[in-house]
């Protein structure tokens, strides 16, 4: 399921996903859009796409997480839970800090994880290629820059961008 959003809406949303504190002025400068346009886009995104803005804390070194499967999430102190997922089978997967595990928690399965990685690639929004502006329909090709990631629809667009646009220049001749 994809949300149908425009090219400019996609660009604004990607900047907000990278840093939700980015100001309207900074977004308008980065995207060469009018501030009123950016404000209107953010209002529309807030109404239809964005669920919430969050703060992410730095990961402490040597972090350890407890991941349990349980049939009742209500028996766990919600202050101990980092996040949880309700499974299709009626059970829950809960991710907790290592200090949260006590003898009173009932679980059907338990694991430990030493690192938590959050995917920053938007999964349910339309991404547009930063080279040809086409909608990316498959897995995006990502190129990291000093100003953040660029997304490409294919390896050809990514390579051509990196090589200075030689393919498009030769097609124009």
- Residue 21 DSSP label: T
For residues 171 and 57, what is the distance between their CA atoms, to the nearest angstrom? 47
- Residue 172 DSSP label: H
- Mean pLDDT, all residues of the chain: 83
For the cut 50, the answer to whether the pLDDT of residue 7 exceeds it is yes
For the cut 90, the answer to whether the pLDDT of residue 50 exceeds it is no
1-5, 39-43, 160-164: the lowest-pLDDT one:
1-5
Q: How far is CA 46 from the centre of its chain?
A: 16
Confidence of residue 19 (pLDDT cuts 50, 70, 90): confident
For residues 3 and 67, what is the distance between their CA atoms, to the nearest angstrom? 31
For residues 11 and 127, what is the distance between their CA atoms, to the nearest angstrom? 8
Confidence at residue 12, expressed as pLDDT on a 0 to 100 scale: 93
Q: Give 76-80's long-range contacts (Cβ < 8 A, gap of 24+).
A: 76/105
Confidence at residue 103, expressed as pLDDT on a 0 to 100 scale: 64
């Amino acid at each position: 399921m994809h949300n149908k959003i425009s090219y400019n809406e996609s660009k604004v949303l990607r900047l907000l996903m990278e840093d939700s504190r980015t100001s309207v002025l900074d977004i308008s400068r980065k995207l060469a859009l009018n501030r009123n346009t950016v404000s209107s886009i953010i209002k529309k995104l807030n109404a239809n796409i964005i669920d919430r803005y969050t703060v992410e804390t730095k990961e402490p070194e040597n972090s350890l997480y407890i991941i349990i499967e349980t049939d009742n999430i209500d028996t766990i102190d919600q202050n101990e839970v980092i996040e949880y997922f309700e499974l299709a089978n009626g059970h829950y997967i809960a991710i907790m800090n290592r200090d949260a595990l006590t003898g009173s928690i009932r679980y059907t399965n338990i694991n430990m994880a030493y690192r938590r990685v959050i995917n920053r690639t938007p999964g349910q929004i339309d991404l547009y290629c930063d080279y040809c502006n086409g909608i990316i329909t498959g897995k995006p090709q990502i190129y990291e820059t000093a100003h953040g990631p660029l997304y490409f629809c294919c390896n050809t667009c990514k390579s051509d961008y990196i090589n200075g646009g030689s393919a498009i220049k030769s097609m124009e001749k």
